[in-house]
Amino acid sequence: MKRVLVIAACFAAGPVWAEPSLERGDYLVNGPAGCGNCHTPLGPNGFVAGQELSGRLVLDIPEFTAYSENITPAGEVANWTDAEFARAIREGIRPDGSLIRPPMPFAMYRGLSDDDVMSMVAYLRTVPAVENTVPESVYNIPLPPAYGPPVEHVAAIPAGVTVEYGAYLAGPVAHCMECHTPMGPEGPMLDTSLGQGGFEIPGPWGVSVSANLTTHEDGLAGYTDEEIAKMIVEGIRPDGTPMMPPMPYSFLAKMTDDDLAAIILYLRTLPPLPDYEG
């Protein structure tokens, strides 16, 4: 079904999320947050059925070899309290005090609302337990003792086709801005180069370079809302050519029309920056 993105649709009927719920957690984990994009094993034909969210090799580069954790009830998360699980997601700190390391997008996840992170935790408690032991990650770079101060409270952003909610979805939830911002020595350069693209991501597909999402002519200035929507949820450019992984197209395709419209509305506000040349 063709999506129709009309900003006036902000008052259209749709789910209303006011507090933690399994339904909201399911939507986030399997939709815009796309947890399985990094936590589900990959085979030659894509994600391995029956092993959802059980961990895998995510990134193997000179700086580090990173494995995602088994976040099903068969993993170590089963022994964590809900508060400890939420802290691990938002702050990257396990109950024993050890640091969860890149490429988990903690610069983004720290902004997840209390309701949403607890919805995700609640849902992850219900997924099938999958036995899968992943190796320890190896890091050849110095890492900080923490990614910031403790996250005490994050209020919910009212859902709707608004720039504010679009920024929340493109940032803390879907972490679009993490991959679509150039990487500096201390992580994504969010303060100076937000959405400028240029981040190189190697994988079985080769090397992907994240696109410029700003309003510059090098970015999205020449695209219609409908064209941007198709690129986000289908990975197809206006000329019909396919885009490369690791964009989580299959997860983003599960977004509601209003959420997709909110993200596009937010992207239309990004200051214009030319393609990054690091």
Q: Count of domains in the chain?
A: 2
**Are residues 103 and 184 both part of a single domain?**
no
**Are residues 19 and 135 both part of a single domain?**
yes
Q: What is the CATH number of the domain that holds 194?
A: 1.10.760
**Lateral strand order in the sheet of 64-67:** 57-61, 64-67, 138-139
**Are residues 194 and 126 both part of a single domain?**
no
Tell whether 94 is covered by a domain.
Answer: yes
Tell whether 178 is covered by a domain.
Answer: yes
CA angle 175, 176, 180 (to 5 degrees): 125
pTM: 0.91
How high is the pLDDT of residue 18? 56
- Chosen domain end from 99, 123, 156: 156
Tell whether 4 is covered by a domain.
Answer: no
**Are residues 57 and 126 both part of a single domain?**
yes
Closest CA to 39 of 9, 16, 70: 70
The pLDDT tens digits of the residues spanning 199-208 come to 998 888 889 9
CA angle 81, 84, 86 (to 5 degrees): 110
What's the mean pLDDT in 253-274? 98
In sequence order, the 6+-apart residues with CB closer than 8 A to the CB of 261 are 5, 6, 7, 9, 10, 161, 166, 225
Residue 32 has pLDDT above 90, yes or no: yes
**Are residues 72 and 170 both part of a single domain?**
no
At 90, list the tokens. Answer: 């938002």
Tell whether 8 is covered by a domain.
Answer: no
The pLDDT tens digits of the residues spanning 193-229 come to 999 999 998 888 889 999 999 999 999 999 999 999 9
Say how far apart CA 199 and CA 213 lie, in whole Å.
12
Tell whether 5 is covered by a domain.
Answer: no
- Chosen domain end from 156, 186, 209: 156
**Are residues 24 and 134 both part of a single domain?**
yes
- Chosen domain end from 131, 156, 181: 156
Percentage of the residues of the chain whose pLDDT score is greater than 90:
81
Domain that holds residue 220: 158-270
At 224, list the tokens. Answer: 């219609």
